[in-house]
């Protein structure tokens, strides 16, 4: 759909406060839901598996992911506070969802502690995001594209083992590494890759969802799907506050807090891409302030209801840039669909029946995309000796220490939790410090100076 389309009603789609008709808005809303729903629920499924949650608790965690994603999207669309010293909500057409950026660290915390510890750290992270939002102008300079790109690259790399283990059937499963798991995973991956490169329109946009459907059908043929949890799930259920509890463990709070600071800065990129792609302008200071503060407050709220950390969804930003559709009514409909889906436990339970090999085959391409997005951000800066040193050392130390299991064995447990479980935190800290202390090259061009 394009701006050249005629008719007063269709033009409503291209105005942020436009009121397009339901027949026009609904397909576009479904498009946004299709683009993000797999990414939204998969982190919850992964964390539930690592934490050893029961099928019933896994459903509750997935339900909370959908409901909280919907509510946080509503807050961004329709700010609760505007035109004051602090705003609450960006007022921009964005979709919020559970973020893969936190998965490596959440896996580490869930393995050593439990979901309650993740949620406690999330509250601290939310406070960090609020502080970043309030002082965004002063803090932003510490996170140029080189640094955020290094962090995103580390996130992508750290997720690869998760995808491979899932393709093999899931660590600890009876059939781990079986040819059936690998066959189904590869079928799923082939479908996703083929649609990404040869598909058009909705087929390309829905490549991951379609790949999962094909893989799911193949898994059914092998008798690998168990519907017992669906039969026992209820038709309607409200989110349960404090169902998992909340625990504050200092090292986990530090690890998640660092990621919240990074994602708060990363959100600037998504807000900017949304406004430049759909509104032909940069976001205002008020929109950035309100968006990031709302990101922090909504994550604190989510923690009390079992919702894992949310963030802006870049794939939905891409849809805005390609369609130019910015009417908030479309995004409100998408959030409404997520909300309804989350209030139906049978739907959430059905998602838990997706075999690990199918999820692995579908998400390995997503994780690869995350890593390559990091590479694109990194190479936006000149690849001189200084910058390659920053990226190389940050990734080497971040990935190396976490892969050498006994490297920090003689240190206190909190050191291992912060620096030895997920490569993202250590890579982030190293990249920031090196960017501050390494001397700038004297022969940089003016363009390079701006990037640095």
Mean pLDDT of the chain, nearest integer: 83
Using the predicted structure, report yes or no on whether residue 19 has a pLDDT greater than 90: no
Give which of 264, 251, 249, 292 is closest to 426, Cα–Cα.
251
- Summarised one tens digit per residue, pLDDT across range 326-354 is 899 989 999 998 898 889 878 777 777 88
The mean pLDDT value for 135-164 works out to: 81
Using the predicted structure, report yes or no on whether residue 246 has a pLDDT greater than 90: yes
List of residues 6+ apart from 437 with CB closer than 8 A? none
Place of tokens 């669906």: 230
| pTM given for the model | 0.74
More confident residue, 442 or 235: 235
- Summarised one tens digit per residue, pLDDT across range 193-203 is 998 888 876 67
- Summarised one tens digit per residue, pLDDT across range 45-59 is 889 989 999 888 988
The mean pLDDT value for 29-38 works out to: 77
List of residues 6+ apart from 266 with CB closer than 8 A? 101, 148, 151, 152, 311
The mean pLDDT value for 26-41 works out to: 79
Residue 312's pLDDT is 83
Residue 74's pLDDT is 94
* 1 confidence band (pLDDT: 50, 70, 90): very low
């Amino acid at each position: 759909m394009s701006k050249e389309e005629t008719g007063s009603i269709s033009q409503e789609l291209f105005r942020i406060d436009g009121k397009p008709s339901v027949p026009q808005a609904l397909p576009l809303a479904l498009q946004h839901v299709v683009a993000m729903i797999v990414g939204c629920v998969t982190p919850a499924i992964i964390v539930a598996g690592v934490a050893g949650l029961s099928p019933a608790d896994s459903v509750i965690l997935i339900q909370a992911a959908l409901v909280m994603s919907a509510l946080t999207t509503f807050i961004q669309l329709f700010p609760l506070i505007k035109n004051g010293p602090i705003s609450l909500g960006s007022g921009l057409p964005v979709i919020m969802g559970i973020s893969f950026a936190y998965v490596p660290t959440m896996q580490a915390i869930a393995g050593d502690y439990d979901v309650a510890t993740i949620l406690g750290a999330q509250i601290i992270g939310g406070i960090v995001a609020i502080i970043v939002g309030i002082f965004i102008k002063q803090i932003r300079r510490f996170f140029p594209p080189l640094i955020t790109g290094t962090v995103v690259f580390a996130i992508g790399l750290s997720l690869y083992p998760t995808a491979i283990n899932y393709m093999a059937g899931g660590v600890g499963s009876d059939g781990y590494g079986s040819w059936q798991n690998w066959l189904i995973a590869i079928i799923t991956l082939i479908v996703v890759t083929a649609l990404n490169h040869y598909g058009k329109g909705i087929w390309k946009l829905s490549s991951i969802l379609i790949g999962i459907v094909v893989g799911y059908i193949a898994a059914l043929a092998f008798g690998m799907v168990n519907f017992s949890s669906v039969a026992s799930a209820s038709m309607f259920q409200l989110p349960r506050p404090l169902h998992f509890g909340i625990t504050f463990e200092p090292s986990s709070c530090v690890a998640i807090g660092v990621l919240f600071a990074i994602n708060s800065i990363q959100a600037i990129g998504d807000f900017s891409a949304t406004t430049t792609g759909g509104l032909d302008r940069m976001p205002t200071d008020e929109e950035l302030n309100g968006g990031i503060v709302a990101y922090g407050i909504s994550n604190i709220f989510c923690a009390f209801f079992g919702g894992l950390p949310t963030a802006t969804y870049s794939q939905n930003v891409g849809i805005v840039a390609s369609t130019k559709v910015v009417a908030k009514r479309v995004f409100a409909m998408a959030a409404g669909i997520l909300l309804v889906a989350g209030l139906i436990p049978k739907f959430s339970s059905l998602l838990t029946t997706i075999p690990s090999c199918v999820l692995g085959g579908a998400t390995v391409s997503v994780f690869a995309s995350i890593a390559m997005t990091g590479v694109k951000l990194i190479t936006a800066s000149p690849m001189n000796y200084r910058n390659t040193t920053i990226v190389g050392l940050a990734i080497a130390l971040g990935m190396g220490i976490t892969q050498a299991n006994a490297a920090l064995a003689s240190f206190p447990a909190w050191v291992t939790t912060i620096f030895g479980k997920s490569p993202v935190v250590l890579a982030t800290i190293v990249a920031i410090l090196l960017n501050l202390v390494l001397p700038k090259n004297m022969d940089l061009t003016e363009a390079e100076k701006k990037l640095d």
